[in-house]
Amino acid sequence: MSTNDNKELQTELEITGGIITFAIIIIGVITLVTICAHLEKKKKFSQQPKIRTRPLPIANSDQLYLGPNLGNLKQTGIF
Protein backbone atom coordinates (compact mmCIF):
# COMPACT_ATOMS: atom_id res chain seq x y z
CA MET A 1 0.00 0.00 0.00
CA SER A 2 1.29 3.39 -0.85
CA THR A 3 1.05 6.42 1.36
CA ASN A 4 -1.61 7.77 -1.00
CA ASP A 5 -3.81 4.73 -0.34
CA ASN A 6 -3.24 5.13 3.39
CA LYS A 7 -4.29 8.78 3.25
CA GLU A 8 -7.45 7.88 1.32
CA LEU A 9 -8.28 5.15 3.83
CA GLN A 10 -7.62 7.52 6.72
CA THR A 11 -9.85 10.15 5.11
CA GLU A 12 -12.65 7.62 4.60
CA LEU A 13 -12.35 6.49 8.22
CA GLU A 14 -12.45 10.10 9.43
CA ILE A 15 -15.56 10.78 7.35
CA THR A 16 -17.22 7.57 8.54
CA GLY A 17 -16.30 8.35 12.14
CA GLY A 18 -17.67 11.86 11.77
CA ILE A 19 -20.94 10.57 10.35
CA ILE A 20 -21.28 8.01 13.16
CA THR A 21 -20.50 10.66 15.79
CA PHE A 22 -23.03 13.03 14.24
CA ALA A 23 -25.67 10.27 14.21
CA ILE A 24 -25.01 9.46 17.88
CA ILE A 25 -25.33 13.14 18.80
CA ILE A 26 -28.62 13.44 16.88
CA ILE A 27 -30.01 10.32 18.57
CA GLY A 28 -28.96 11.69 21.97
CA VAL A 29 -30.64 15.04 21.32
CA ILE A 30 -33.85 13.34 20.17
CA THR A 31 -33.80 11.14 23.28
CA LEU A 32 -33.30 14.12 25.59
CA VAL A 33 -36.10 16.08 23.93
CA THR A 34 -38.42 13.08 24.23
CA ILE A 35 -37.59 12.61 27.92
CA CYS A 36 -38.06 16.31 28.67
CA ALA A 37 -41.39 16.38 26.85
CA HIS A 38 -42.55 13.33 28.79
CA LEU A 39 -41.50 14.85 32.12
CA GLU A 40 -43.18 18.15 31.24
CA LYS A 41 -46.39 16.32 30.36
CA LYS A 42 -46.19 14.35 33.60
CA LYS A 43 -45.57 17.56 35.56
CA LYS A 44 -48.55 19.25 33.90
CA PHE A 45 -50.73 16.25 34.65
CA SER A 46 -49.69 16.21 38.31
CA GLN A 47 -50.60 19.90 38.68
CA GLN A 48 -54.21 19.28 37.71
CA PRO A 49 -56.55 19.25 40.67
CA LYS A 50 -56.95 15.75 41.91
CA ILE A 51 -60.34 14.32 42.62
CA ARG A 52 -60.13 13.47 46.25
CA THR A 53 -62.51 10.99 47.69
CA ARG A 54 -63.22 11.30 51.35
CA PRO A 55 -63.92 8.26 53.43
CA LEU A 56 -67.50 7.52 54.21
CA PRO A 57 -68.49 8.75 57.64
CA ILE A 58 -69.07 6.11 60.25
CA ALA A 59 -72.79 5.76 60.59
CA ASN A 60 -74.42 6.36 63.92
CA SER A 61 -76.15 3.44 65.47
CA ASP A 62 -79.55 4.88 64.62
CA GLN A 63 -78.54 4.97 60.96
CA LEU A 64 -77.53 1.33 60.87
CA TYR A 65 -79.89 -1.30 59.69
CA LEU A 66 -79.57 -3.89 62.39
CA GLY A 67 -81.69 -6.50 60.73
CA PRO A 68 -84.97 -8.00 61.83
CA ASN A 69 -83.57 -9.67 64.95
CA LEU A 70 -81.61 -6.68 66.26
CA GLY A 71 -84.30 -4.07 65.74
CA ASN A 72 -85.59 -4.54 69.28
CA LEU A 73 -82.13 -3.94 70.77
CA LYS A 74 -82.16 -0.48 69.27
CA GLN A 75 -85.37 0.33 71.10
CA THR A 76 -84.01 -0.88 74.43
CA GLY A 77 -81.12 1.57 74.30
CA ILE A 78 -78.29 -0.93 73.95
CA PHE A 79 -77.42 0.58 70.60
In this predicted model, what pLDDT tens digit does every residue of 28-48 receive, in sequence order? Answer: 999 999 999 998 887 776 666
What gap in Å lies between CA 15 and CA 24, rounded to an integer?
A: 14
Please provide the average confidence, as pLDDT, over all residues in the chain.
Answer: 76
Do the Cβ atoms of 63 and 57 come closer than 8 Å?
no
Is 22 domain-assigned?
A: yes
Classify residue 11: in a domain, yes or no.
yes
72 part of a folded domain: no
Domain that holds residue 25: 1-51
**Tens digits of residue pLDDT in 49-64:** 667 666 666 655 555 5
Q: pLDDT at position 31, please?
A: 96
Say if residues 8 and 1 touch (Cβ distance below 8 Å). no
Reported pTM: 0.49
**pLDDT, greater one: 69 or 5:** 5
Q: How many domains does the chain have?
A: 1
- Supply the pLDDT for residue 24: 97
Q: Are 64 and 78 in contact (CB under 8 A)?
A: no
> Within a domain: residue 14?
yes
